[in-house]
Amino acid sequence: MKKILFAASECVPFIKTGGLADVCGALPKEFDKNEWDVRVVIPNYECIPNKYRKEFKYITHYYTNQGSVNNSVHVGIMEYEMDGIRYYFIDNLMYFGGSTPYTNDMKWDIEKFSFFSKAVLSILPIINFKPDVIHCHDWQTGLIPVYLKNEFSANLFYHGIKTVMTIHNLRFQGIWDIETMKAITGLDDGLFTADKLEFYNNGNMLKGGLVYADAITTVSDTYAEEIKTMEYGEGLQGILNARSHQLTGIVNGIDYDSYNPATDENLFVNYTKDDFRKKKFKNKLELQEELGLPVDKNKFMIGLVSRLTDQKGLDLIEAVMDGIIDENTQFVVVGTGQEQYEAMFRHYQNLYPDQVSANILYSDKLARKLYAAADAFLMPSRFEPCGLTQLISFRYGTAPIVRETGGLKDTVIAYNAEDNSGDGFSFVNYNAEEMLYVINLAKELFFDNKRRWNQLVERGMNKDFSWGASKKRYEELYNHLMAVRAEELRMLEEKRAEELRIMEEERKRAEAEAKEALAKKEAAEEEE
């Protein structure tokens, strides 16, 4: 049985702030349980819903040191099994209490995820699970490969464990000053050098993972190339280029059981790719009614479900919003984020109450209603490692309008009027007018050629972004690392065998020399 451990800061259904949680919730379930034993470890946040926490099974607890900041830190181990996957939860109320998994205090988050990284390794002998591969996700787990190949390397239990470091978003790295980082982590001075964890005179947790992991992945092929450039590399393009042979892009999937318009209980009306022409629009009518918009199936509804941040290209929308909105277009937003963008969408709702609905909140239920109701989804991202919104849009028969970057470029085929091909709309440059042109192109197709529009939608619904294809690539990566480990063990055994052979030859030679010396001595004595 091949053993894999996923280590992450969040995982559906227990805790979610972004796409990372979806990946760690969906991917482990895809592996054949007759061949793979895939388990998951995350922090035991106090904000995990009680319906799950009350079912967690207590395993044990112990105390460890957390650098020089605390020499006696509680480590609790909780366990829970669901859908055939065993989950472990690292318990420490001091670090993982509170109403959110992350705080606005980066120093505190660095301390608690340094603790988490070390705890992930220290619990393994206790739970009697030695993984072949530990799959680490984002900066919060960046120190796992560092600890594994340094502090834990003397313990034979950990020998041979391989690590994969997955970058979900390179912008977030876990950076703080070196002296504080050393105190928090307990790592030696020698690790905070330019070729290891040092980063512009600070310590960098993600960089540590990138240096020490056996393989690096990110969540699309295009993003894997982009992050090796100065524009997208966030200062880490040097190490990513140096390790380019260990860097792979694997596009994320989505859970097709959960995101299924035929069975999704959140929708007003369920539908499939066979009957969406007759049923999908009914979701638009119901959502228009719910949001207080004019009820009209012929309106072109654009949806946006997003964190409202600079990364998502919202400044482009602001620059041409007056051009996007017209009497035949409705724009519905669901999300929270930077105050300036929350205020921007509220402003446009006040200005265009019949065209704009700004829902400044996080609601998975409302988001799913919008996926089903909208005609198009807008994603003009400045950069987008993978993106899940466009994948969900395809599943729900909603045409994505995207900028060609990262995973958006890899997953959306731009509409071509000449041969009636493509499954969405895209623009290349980070330019508001270029975005507006493509939005108008989508409107033109929707209003003037509904037959072609429906064919485009159907092509999108026929695409398969379930985890099947991506899972195979992860299996190939894990198998490769295990083959590397087997080769390393073979070479080590050969080396040991050679050392033993040399030692045996030395022993025999020494023995022969001793016998010869003894014989000479005895002969000399006889002559006397």
264 touches 372 (CB < 8 A): yes
Is 427 contained in some domain?
yes
Measured CA to CA, the distance from residue 101 to residue 15 in angstroms comes to 8
For residues 351 and 400, membership in a common domain is answered with yes
Structure tokens belonging to residue 187:
């790592």
Q: What is the pLDDT of residue 528?
A: 65
For residues 309 and 193, membership in a common domain is answered with no
CATH label of the domain that carries residue 105: 3.40.50.2000
For residues 111 and 240, membership in a common domain is answered with yes
Is 235 contained in some domain?
yes
CA angle at residue 335 from 463 to 377, to 5 degrees? 30
List 190's β-bridge partners, or say none. none
Q: Tell which of 417, 440, 466 closes a domain.
A: 466
Is 520 contained in some domain?
no
Closest CA to 146 of 191, 103, 113, 183: 191
For residues 200 and 163, membership in a common domain is answered with yes
CA angle at residue 421 from 444 to 436, to 5 degrees? 35
What distance separates the 2 farthest-apart alpha carbons in the chain? 125
Is 490 contained in some domain?
no
Is 311 contained in some domain?
yes
For residues 286 and 187, membership in a common domain is answered with no
For residues 158 and 285, membership in a common domain is answered with no
Q: What DSSP letter does each residue of 174-201 carry, written as one string?
A: -EEEHHHHHHHH---GGGSSTTTTEETT
For residues 30 and 161, membership in a common domain is answered with yes
341: left (phi over 0), alpha (psi -120 to 50) or beta: alpha
Structure tokens belonging to residue 117:
């990284």
The series of mean pLDDT values per 10 residues for the chain, 528 residues long, is 97 91 94 97 97 97 90 95 97 94 95 97 98 98 98 95 97 96 95 97 98 97 97 97 97 92 98 97 98 98 95 97 97 96 98 97 94 98 94 98 97 97 98 98 98 98 92 96 90 84 87 82 75
Domain count, the chain: 2
Is 306 contained in some domain?
yes
For residues 179 and 312, membership in a common domain is answered with no
For residues 231 and 306, membership in a common domain is answered with no
323 touches 316 (CB < 8 A): no
CA angle at residue 182 from 176 to 186, to 5 degrees? 135
Residue 18 backbone phi and psi in degrees, to 5: -165, -170
Locus of tokens 């996080």: 362
For residue 96, give its domain range.
2-249
- Beta-carbon contacts of 218 under 8 Å, excluding residues fewer than 6 positions away, are 166, 167, 168, 170, 224, 227, 247, 248, 249, 250, 385
Residue 99 backbone phi and psi in degrees, to 5: -95, -5
Structure tokens belonging to residue 427:
């623009």
Q: What is the pLDDT of residue 362?
A: 86
Structure tokens belonging to residue 197:
């964890």
Provide the 3-class DSSP secondary structure of residue 216. strand
Structure tokens belonging to residue 204:
């960098």
Is 474 contained in some domain?
no
Q: What is the pLDDT of residue 518?
A: 79
For residues 290 and 196, membership in a common domain is answered with no
Measured CA to CA, the distance from residue 266 to residue 43 in angstroms comes to 29
Closest CA to 372 of 267, 278, 301: 267
pTM of the predicted structure, to 2 decimals: 0.89
Q: Tell which of 466, 483, 511 closes a domain.
A: 466
Is 164 contained in some domain?
yes
